[in-house]
Amino acid sequence: MTTHREGTFVEGLWVEPAQLSSETAPTVAEVGCTSAPLESMAFHFASFCKKYNDDYVKCKNESQDPKHCLKEGRKVTRCALDLIGKLKENCDAQWTKHWECLDMNNHTLFKCRKEEKEFNDCVFKRLGLTKVIPETPEGATPIHLKEKPLYK
């Protein structure tokens, strides 16, 4: 037996009533990117900010208290902002082309391999960062470097 229940709509924002003290409040700007630019730069972010990410994950594993890792979180955010600035300065056209392709194709990576290759080549040439996919088997060619990445 089913019953009908009216849906409810809550107006306003969900806001934490307890305010952070001035010494624990974040003092770094937000990244300010949507999901497409973040997904486009994700592998480069992983290699560029590896030590900050590792410190943050280690801190999160040590404590369940969110305040405990604010300092490490700020370092990760600053590193992301630094990478975004370098990408805009050095590879803006290629990066924009790649993330716009992801945005227009519902974040389907295989539809944007051409743009991805141009972006990866620019990042390697100008910033010295290579795209490394975690858990790629030893000796296997990563999917983004294959001549024909689709199976038919």
Segments of 8-151 assigned E as strands: none
pLDDT in tens, 32-50: 889 999 999 999 999 899 9
- Which two structure tokens, joined as six digits, stand for 4? 């009908």
- The closest of 125, 26, 45, 34 to 85, measured between CA atoms, is 45
Q: Is this prediction's pTM over 0.85? A: no
pLDDT in tens, 48-105: 999 999 999 999 999 888 788 889 999 999 999 999 999 999 999 999 999 999 999 9
